[in-house]
Structure 1
């Protein structure tokens, strides 16, 4: 007697475009965490420093980047482990759609707060690096959101 459906390796993971996009989001998320840690706009120094300057930097790292990175990694691991097929009654594709919408909203707010911090600090070219990386990450999530919206059946078929 088993406690639940068996999990097995999803060999068709790389056959869907959405899964490549998830891996790209994961890579952009790691780049985003590193750039927001090392080169966040601050009013104190005009160079990149490996330290925390403001509470909005910590908020960016933990809430926006860390949380979205954790959710994306969880969705990738669940898809590779076959949890989407094993637990089909819970409708994981609909859950994935809502999580992608949430992550897109969070990265829109992250871009807005980063632009506000960028405008409130003295100008330095190095401070544009987190803005560019956050914009690329937001673009990846917006593409994923449009792909989720174009899918007629939320079950992933």
Structure 2
């Protein structure tokens, strides 16, 4: 009798530890990320990156934090009926299974408001994305000047 219970207990331990490991696998990966370097007088900047969801469920991002700024939010740029571009806060960002979500200039981006110190080209910024389920995805992005980006693209076309 005791041996049977011990086998069941072992099975449960192994089964639940496997379940736990599976959840610890990061389904969300970031690539091509950067934060825009601006003059020291600018209190706000933006971060851009591509997120990929390799999991089987949608990942809904509902919060974002960084020690580099007092306030961090997901924003979008959308054309209004008047033809003017307007920036607005997005409460959540959903990345479907197997899909990519791109934060890029003139579109969706991560706004860093009330910078705690000036960000210079070559610095790094730690940002934590937080999903609806409470999973935290820490990422580190390099700070680049918009000039670096133009030079990089210009260099690519030759």
| TM-score normalised by structure 2 residue count | 0.23
Instruction: Specify which structure has the bigger relative contact order, considering alpha-carbon pairs within 8 angstroms and separated by 6 or more residues.
Output: 1
Structure showing greater radius of gyration is: 2
Where is the helix percentage greater, Structure 1 or Structure 2? 1
Instruction: Using structure 1 for the length normalisation, give the TM-score.
Output: 0.24
Bigger strand share:
2
